[in-house]
Amino acid sequence: MEVGGRSAVRCEDLRRVFGAGEAAVAAVDGVSLGFPSGELTSIVGPSGSGKSTLMHVLAGLDRPTSGRAWVAGTEITGLDDGRLTELRRDKLGFVFQFFNLIPVLSAEENITLPLRIAGRDVDAEWLAALLETVGIADRSTHRPAELSGGQQQRVAVARALISKPAVVFADEPTGNLDSAASTQVLELLRRSVDLLGRSVILVTHDPRVASYADRMVMLVDGKVSSDTRVEGEDQVLRLMQTV
């Protein structure tokens, strides 16, 4: 895909090398991509292909060895730790395989925690809409231990969206869920793209999960081996079986 334009996230010749000398491994090796707003992109590839490393660098959770990356129009590769933290807080949402909820807080308190840490007011109307959208309005006072795995991940999705981020990064978000709960979470992420215009970048090894995307980027040995529009689960499975 062309790098530039109205991309919510983009990178040019991004490299992330671990180790040095003969032991050096390029987990991300010369990747240039653009991720538009209003689109769900899945990043797939074999174990060790560099997909999670790429996501971490794009999200400012790790620094590249070389190359450049932008999020919401800001180049992140030159930012200090303080400004990176601010950008992640204000512009990005995160959903991971492990829900990372605070056990002593209610669902609603977990959702609004990022705003409270940032000293920002909670938009009560937006919070109510999110609780309804993710289907936990009647469980908002429950603590994580009182919720199913699927409900906990829906809380995590709402937490990722509470600050109205430009981009949501999701790393194996259904890895700990059964099929029904997985479908609910994927539909939520799909809805955040279709109704809210967010950009969602999702890392997965699961063809069914990848089939919810508009576009699939495949990494092999840290390089982009294919970048294609998604036409269904069968097509995704065929492409993933080629590596």
Could you tell me the domains of the chain?
A: 37-64+73-240 (3.40.50.300)
8/3 Cα distance (integer angstroms): 11
Angstrom CA distances, 181 to 175, 218, 232, stand at 11, 25, 20
Q: In the predicted model, is pLDDT for residue 4 greater than 60? A: no
Place of tokens 């040995």: 221
Burial 23-50 (b: 16+ CB within 10 A, else e): eeebbbbebebbbbbebbbbbbbeeebb
Q: Quick one: pLDDT band at residue 3, thresholds 50, 70, 90?
A: very low
Output DSSP code: residue 120.
P
Question: Per DSSP, what are the bridge partners of residue 26?
Answer: 17
Question: For residue 158, what are the contacts with CB-CB under 8 A and spacing of at least 6?
Answer: 111, 130, 131, 133, 134, 136
Provide the token pair at 150: 């699927």
Task: Look at 25-29, 72-76, 180-184 and tell me which has the smallest mean pLDDT.
Answer: 180-184
Give the residue from 94, 78, 129 showing the smallest Cα distance to 200: 94
CB 216 within 8 A of CB 210: yes
Phi, psi of 10 (to 5 degrees): -155, 160
Q: What is the pLDDT of residue 2?
A: 38
Mean pLDDT of 163-169: 90
Mean pLDDT of 157-161: 90
Task: Look at 44-48, 178-182, 206-210 and tell me which has the smallest mean pLDDT.
Answer: 178-182
Provide the token pair at 224: 């982009």
Provide the token pair at 108: 């609603």
Q: Which strand (E) or helix (H) includes residue 93?
A: strand 92-96
Instruction: Provide the percentage of residues in the chain whose pLDDT is more than 90.
Output: 49
Q: What is the pLDDT of residue 6?
A: 66
Name the average pLDDT for the chain.
89
CB 72 within 8 A of CB 167: yes
H, E, C per residue of 11-31: EEEEEEEECCHHHCEEEEEEE
Each residue's pLDDT tens digit, 126-137: 899 888 888 889
CB 129 within 8 A of CB 164: no
Mean pLDDT of 60-67: 93
Q: Is 51 exposed, middle or buried (0-12, 13-18, 19+ CB in 10 A)?
A: buried
14/64 Cα distance (integer angstroms): 7
Mean pLDDT of 139-148: 93
Q: In the predicted model, is pLDDT for residue 59 greater than 80? A: yes
98/152 Cα distance (integer angstroms): 10
190/214 Cα distance (integer angstroms): 9
Select the more confidently predicted residue: 241 or 53: 53
